[in-house]
Structure 1
Amino acid sequence: MSREIGGVSNHPSTRDVGAALEGVLAGTGCVGFIEGETEVRVGWLRAGGDGLVVTARVDEGVVGQTHFWCDAGQWAAWLGDRLPVPSWDALPPDWQASAASLTLATEGAAIGGEEGPVREAMAGSASDTERSTAAMRRECPDTFAAPTSWPQVTVITRESVETTWRIGIVLQRGARRLALMHLDGVTSWLTDRCQRAVPCDAPLDPSGLPTRRCLLAAGWGEFPASLCDRLREGGAILLDVVADVASGEYWLLDGARSIAMRDGQPSGRHVAMPDFPTPGAVDCGAASCTRLVAVIAERALPVPSLAAWHLGRATSHERAPQNFLSAAHISLWRDARPWANGRLLRFGDGRLAVQIDPVP
Structure 2
Amino acid sequence: MCREASGVSDHPSTQDVGVALEGVLAGSGCVRFNEGGTEVRVGWLYAGGDGLVVTARVDEGVVGQTRFWCDARQWADWLGDRLPVPSWDALPPDWQASAASLTFATEGVDTEGEDDPQREAMTGRAWDTEKRAAATHRECPDAQAAPAAPTSWPQVTTMTREPVETTWRIGIVLQREARRLALMHLDGVTSWLTDRCQHALPSDTPLDPSGLPTRRCILAAGWGELPASLCDRLRGGGAVLLDVAADVASGEYWLLDGTRGIAMRDGQPSGRHVAMPDIATSDAGDGAAPCTRLVAVIAERALSIPSLAAWHLGRATSHEHAPQSVLSAAHVALWRDGTPWVNGRLLRFGDGRLAVQIDPVP
Shift of 1:327: 1.9
Is 1:76–2:79 an aligned residue pair? no
Q: Aligned AA for 1:209?
A: L
Q: Does the CA contact (< 8 Å) of 2:18 and 2:187 recur in 1?
A: no
Shift of 1:106: 0.8
Which of 221, 243, 260 is the matching residue for 1:218? Answer: 221
For 1:350 and 1:224, how far apart are their aligned partners in 2?
24
**Deviation sequence 1:179-232 (CA, Å, 0-9, x none):** 000010000000000000001110000000000000000000110001111114
Tell me the equivalent position of 1:288.
290
Tell me the equivalent position of 1:354.
356
Residues 190 and 277 of structure 1, relative CA distance in 2, 3 Å threshold:
farther
For 1:314 and 1:151, how far apart are their aligned partners in 2?
34
Q: Does the CA contact (< 8 Å) of 1:234 and 1:359 recur in 2?
A: no
Shift of 1:319: 0.4
Q: Aligned AA for 2:23?
A: G
Shift of 1:294: 0.3
Q: Does the CA contact (< 8 Å) of 1:44 and 1:205 recur in 2?
A: yes
Which of 273, 277, 296 is the matching residue for 1:274? Answer: 277
Q: Aligned AA for 1:103?
A: T
Shift of 1:328: 1.6
Is 1:57–2:57 an aligned residue pair? yes
Tell me the equivalent position of 1:177.
180
Residues 277 and 38 of structure 1, relative CA distance in 2, 3 Å threshold:
farther
For 1:186 and 1:335, how far apart are their aligned partners in 2?
36
Tell me the equivalent position of 2:9.
none
Q: Secondary structure at the match of 1:304?
A: helix
Residues 355 and 265 of structure 1, relative CA distance in 2, 3 Å threshold:
same
TM norm structure 1: 0.83
Which of 332, 336, 342 is the matching residue for 2:334? Answer: 332
For 2:156 and 2:243, how far apart are their aligned partners in 1?
53
Is 1:86–2:86 an aligned residue pair? yes
Shift of 1:18: 3.1
Residues 160 and 276 of structure 1, relative CA distance in 2, 3 Å threshold:
farther
Q: Secondary structure at the match of 1:28?
A: coil
Q: Does the CA contact (< 8 Å) of 1:44 and 1:204 recur in 2?
A: yes
For 2:90 and 2:266, how far apart are their aligned partners in 1?
58
Which of 164, 176, 181 is the matching residue for 1:161? Answer: 164
Shift of 1:17: 2.2
Superposed, 1:172-211 pairs within 5 Å as: 172-211=175-214
Following TM superposition, the consecutive aligned residue runs of length 4 or more in structure 1 with deviations greater than 3 angstroms are 275-278, 280-286
Q: Does the CA contact (< 8 Å) of 2:20 and 2:194 recur in 1?
A: no
- The runs of 5 or more residues in structure 1 that have no matched partner are 1-12, 110-146
Q: Aligned AA for 1:59?
A: D
Tell me the equivalent position of 1:230.
233
**Deviation sequence 1:284-337 (CA, Å, 0-9, x none):** 964210100000000000101000000000111100002112222111111111
Tell me the equivalent position of 2:10.
none
- The runs of 5 or more residues in structure 2 that have no matched partner are 1-12, 110-149
Aligned residues: 310
Residues 356 and 285 of structure 1, relative CA distance in 2, 3 Å threshold:
farther
Q: Secondary structure at the match of 2:81?
A: coil
**Deviation sequence 1:159-180 (CA, Å, 0-9, x none):** 1111110001000001100000
Tell me the equivalent position of 1:95.
95
Residues 239 and 281 of structure 1, relative CA distance in 2, 3 Å threshold:
farther
Superposed, 1:2-151 pairs within 5 Å as: 15-107=15-107, 149-151=152-154
Q: Aligned AA for 2:307?
A: S
Cα RMSD over matched residues? 1.9
Q: Secondary structure at the match of 1:154?
A: strand
Shift of 1:234: 4.0
TM norm structure 2: 0.82
Tell me the equivalent position of 1:345.
347
Q: Secondary structure at the match of 2:43?
A: strand
Shift of 1:358: 3.2
